[in-house]
Structure 1
Amino acid sequence: MTTLVDTFVEQARSITIEVAAKRLDLTFRKSGHEHPQPCPACHGKDCFAFNTKKNKWNCRAGGVGGQDAIGMAAHVHGLDVKSREGFLEACAIVTGEDIPEGGERESDEDRAARLARLDQLRRDKDQAAARTAQAQADFRERERRKARGIYEAAEPIAMHGIARRYLAGRGCGIPAKWLRATADQPYWYGGDDRGQLQTLHSGPAMIAPFIDATVLVIGCHITWIDLGRAPKFRPDLSDPATGELLPTKKMRGTKKGGLIPLAGDLSARRWVGGEGIENGLAFGGWEGFRDDTFYFAAGDLGNLSGPAEASSRFAHPTLTKLDRNGVERPVMVAGPVPKLDQDADDAMFVLDHVDELVLLADGDSERVMTASAMARARARHARPGRLIPIIWPRDGHDFASMAVSAEAEAS
């Protein structure tokens, strides 16, 4: 014989994750099926999510989830679904109805204890998050100070012959306002038995600042130079233990929300730049460093375009890789749609007065991934009335290599 309680439970089981999420006052994103957010129970940052298409939910911090709205409600409210009263209380939450007569109910004392546990858990998480945030902020500020010190200790590039010859060899004009250089910049790498970084190399380097929208130096970009190693004139550095080649460009401090200024003034209404200092300087030299233009570089494509919306990810048309089971699958590419609800400093800033933003692509990077990132950058920085053309060099080149080729053909 079906009782009122049985009917009540069956009704609760029929509730979808979407309906339950609305009754639980969870956060829905503006579009898409996946809705990540801080956990309303434990306050873990971005560890909770529900999917209205798959009818699933999960909390990574708690290691729980499923396709059951009752379980989701129990998790959010700290109820134990293994107990009859906890299970029925969760059913009441998702249905929005009282537990029928004959059904077990949570006592006032148990309810008060549960709410107190939830409140304490939230306070503990908030305090832990505050301590972590402060530690991260202190670390970032120390790194910013170190980066600022490196930049300020360097001399103007106009006074540094090696750096000028490096830029000339890369086909770049040499604006003197922002870039600096040093004759002996240490390259820190690896560590000793105590974890202390070691000096793998030391030599001439070009130093560029990362600045925020207030023109405060928040980081620096270091390019080590070796004029004897054409065509890019950078030293050959490798891991002493493995022989793995190491990058000859590094960033200190933070690039988050910042950009690298190259020439001109931020008050200009036309901005030109893309990934790579040399790329921007070569293009600026080609057009004569226009007086009405501010030239810049991004630290990398992520700094230029910001993160992508997960739903815009797509399969590369030709590139593949083996998955963990040895099956060949397409490489997935970060899509052209900017991530929703991201922070303003997830990519470089562009000031509001800019009405033309010329984005420079890199033709010697992987074409599909670069094109997607450039489209994402244009979408992210779009404003009513703002022109955002994307300019590509010849396939297989960047603007710096094109400038070098043009000089060789002219000589």
Structure 2
Amino acid sequence: MSDDVIKLFVEDARAVSIEDTAKILNLKFSARGHEHPQPCPNCGGTDTFAFNTKKEKWNCRAGGIGGNDGIGMAAHCADLDVRRRDGLLEACSIVLDRDIPDEGERESDQDRAARLQRLEERRQQNEADAAARADSQADFREKERAKARGIIKASSVLVDAAPPQGRYYLRYRCNGFPDASWLRVGANVPYWHGQDERGAPLELFSGPAMVAPFIGPGLVEIGCHITWIDLNEPPKFRPKLFGLTKDGIAAGLVEWAFGDAPPPDVDVADGLYEPLPAKKMRGSKKGGLIPIGGHPEARRWVGGEGIENGVAFGLWEGWRQDTFYFAAGDLGNLSGPAEPSSRFAHPMLKKPDAKGIARAVMIAGPKPKRDQQADDAMWIGDQVDELVLLADGDSEPVMTAAAMARARARHQRPEGQPRRLIPIVWPRAGYDFSRMAVEAGE
């Protein structure tokens, strides 16, 4: 009779889902999806542990262990040995959130005290490791910010710099440039990509570049945006750069050098070389913005993703004295993350799933994520009464429209405060404002 009671106790525990077990264990759930990565409650780490509520599985990479039921997951988190009968029943007790039947074996007080002591020591060690990682990341971030400030300091104010490439670049791209000191230009800014045989960063080339600061609240420089310039490469007037991929290294190919002919198209198509961006960011951009013209104390702000569109629109407006012109650096920094529940299916775009069936592409929705951090998107001055958001007409329109709507909602003042005017301005279909400005100038 006693064996039947214990067997039923164990079977009841096996019937508890991974999701319910995770709730009992106070594990973290991701905002969306079925996979929930996180630090392991036992082993520590950052994302070493995960459970999947759809597949009914869990896994700990740090401990090299996993399974497909809540008993094993609870046992690992609580440092119990399910190979021992008392360990198995203790894990079942956790999953069911009820005591072990009188007929079952239990841990001795000594074993329980030793196990809890081990868990506490690991918890303290995990916290110490996490703090050390945070300090290391903070040190790395501050070093990157220092490098960004060094790049800014080494460059000259674009409007009157001896190197003329910055002014020519903006004339070619936007039909003019701002009479302001925010944007800068460097004559020989290194472009780092890859590593040499000793693991040191490899300088792909060094050339003229437009340099712009990322500033945070208080106008503190937190990073920089770099646009390398090649006036012989219309229509973007940026150098064409290529990097050797892992497949290219495995194939015995050599690094592409600036000045060489572009790699054969077939090598690029086969993934042996990859085109590299001629724009990079150093330091931090998160929560910051790129000033273009005017001063952030203005009550009217105008800006979008890129510098070129902000310059073109400022030229079109005649650089209004009551306006601050800016760029966010990218669409994510402009709009911030989306509330997962606002995702929607693209009305036209589809892509094959794992089984080759065409499924609609899911788009991040127009609603800002709840409870997000202040620096999840660029900052806006409290005094701003009008925020003109510039959309990019040559990007995918549905995704862009959702992001712009999200930006408008994100940057609106809270309820109970005077509403902020936030119009979204679109260029001609298939264009951006810089291209419109160039064609208007011609």
Match of 1:357 among 387, 403, 419: 387
Paired residues of 1:167 and 1:174 also in contact (CA < 8 A): no
Q: For the aligned residues, what is the CA RMSD?
A: 3.2
**Counterpart Cα distance in 1 of 2:427 and 2:347:** 22
Amino acid corresponding to residue 223 of structure 2 in structure 1:
G
Native 8 Å contact 2:180 2:294 kept in 1: no
Deviation at 1:282, TM superposition (A): 1.0
Post-superposition CA distance 1:17-76 (Å, at most 9, x none): 555444434456789877665443334335555566776655555455555333333233
Aligned to 2:172: 169
The letter for the 1-side match of 2:170 is L
Q: Structure 2 vs 1, CA of residues 69 and 200 (structure 1 numbering), >3 Å: closer, same or farther?
A: closer
SS in 1 for 2:276: coil
Counterparts in 2 of 1:390 and 1:40: CA distance versus 1, 3 Å = farther
Change (3 A) 1:32 1:340: farther
- Give the corresponding residue for 2:326: 296
Distance 1:229 1:389, change over 3 A: same
Q: Deviations over 1:309-348 (max 9, x none)?
A: 5555555444455667766655554444444554432332
- Of stretches 66-75 and 83-92 in structure 1, the one that deviates more from structure 2 is 66-75
Amino acid at match of 1:264: G
Query: Secondary structure, in 3 states, of the residue corresponding to 1:170?
Result: helix
Match of 2:404 among 368, 374, 377: 374
Structure 1 position 157, deviation (Å)? 1.4
Q: Which amino acid aligns with 1:100?
A: P
Instruction: Work out the CA distance in 1 between the residues paired with 2:21 and 2:196.
Output: 54
The residue type paired with residue 152 of structure 1 is K
Aligned pairs for 1:150-161 (under 5 A) are 150-160=151-161, 161=164
- Whether 2:208 is the aligned partner of 1:204: answer yes
Q: Which residue of 2 aligns with 1:226?
A: 230
2:307 equivalent in structure 1: 277
Q: Write the distance in 1 (CA, Å) between the matches of 2:7 and 2:379.
A: 58
* Residue 173 of structure 1: how far off its partner (Å): 3.8
What corresponds to 1:389 in structure 2?
423
- Aligned-residue sequence identity (percent) comes to 64
**Structure 2: how far apart are the matches of 1:22 and 1:305?**
32
Distance 1:57 1:188, change over 3 A: closer
Q: Which residue of 2 aligns with 1:306?
A: 336
Q: Quick one: structure 1 residues 175 and 60, their matched pair in 2 at CA, closer, same or farther if it must change by over 3 Å?
A: farther
Deviation at 1:158, TM superposition (A): 1.6
323-332 or 214-223, which deviates more: 323-332
Tell me the distance in 1 between the aligned counterparts of 2:375 and 2:195.
32
SS in 2 for 1:136: helix
Cα distance, 1:33–1:226 mapped onto 2, change above 3 Å = closer
Q: Using a 3 Å threshold, how does the CA distance of structure 1 residues 9 and 351 change in structure 2: closer, same or farther? A: farther
Q: Is residue 164–residue 174 contact of structure 1 (8 Å, CA) maintained in 2? A: no
SS at match of 1:252: strand
**Alpha-carbon distance in 2 for matches of 1:36, 1:237:** 36
Counterpart secondary structure, 2:303? strand
| SS in structure 1 at match of 2:93 | helix
Hey, what's the Cα distance between the residues in 2 that align with 1:310 and 1:65? 28
1:70 and 1:359 mapped to 2: Cα distance?
52
3-state SS of paired residue (1:255): coil
Normalised TM-score (structure 1):
0.86
Work out the CA distance in 1 between the residues paired with 2:97 and 2:193: 59
Q: Counterpart amino acid of 2:441?
A: E
Residue in structure 2 matched with residue 112 of structure 1 by the alignment: 113
1:209–1:260 contact (8 Å) kept in structure 2: yes
Name the SS for the 1:238 alignment partner.
strand
* Residues 169-222 of structure 1: per-residue CA shift (max 9 Å, x gap): 222441313111122323333343223344433332211001111211111111
Q: 2:98: which partner in 1? A: 97
350 and 117 in structure 1: CA distance in 2 versus 1, 3 angstrom threshold: same
Q: Which residue of 2 aligns with 1:195?
A: 199
| Structure 1, 33-42 or 66-75: larger mean CA deviation | 33-42
1:260 and 2:261 matched? no
Change (3 A) 1:96 1:245: closer
Deviates more, 1:269-278 or 1:129-138: 129-138
TM-score normalised according to structure 2 size: 0.80
CA distance 1:48–1:299, shift in 2 (3 Å) = same
CA contact (8 A) 2:30 2:36 kept: yes
Q: Is the 2:178–2:292 contact (alpha carbons within 8 Å) kept by the matching residues of 1?
A: no
Deviations 1:216-249 (A, max 9, x none): 1111111122333333222333345373433222
Instruction: Specify the code of the residue in structure 2 equivalent to 1:133.
Output: A
Offset at 1:365? 1.8
Task: Pick which of 178-187 and 195-204 moved more.
Answer: 195-204
Read off the aligned partner of 2:422 and give its amino acid letter.
Answer: I
- CA distance in structure 2 between the partners assigned to 1:282 and 1:173 by the alignment: 8
Work out the CA distance in 1 between the residues paired with 2:373 and 2:48: 17
In the alignment, the residues of structure 2 paired with residue 16 and residue 327 of structure 1 have an alpha-carbon distance, to the nearest angstrom, of 30
1:257 CA displacement: 2.2
Give the direction of change, closer, same or farther, for the CA distance of 1:28–1:201 in structure 2 (3 Å limit). closer
Task: State the alpha-carbon separation in 1 of the partners of residues 281 and 329 from structure 2.
Answer: 8
* 8 A contact 2:167–2:177 mirrored in 1: no
Unaligned runs of 5+ in 1: none
Displacement of 1:401: 0.5
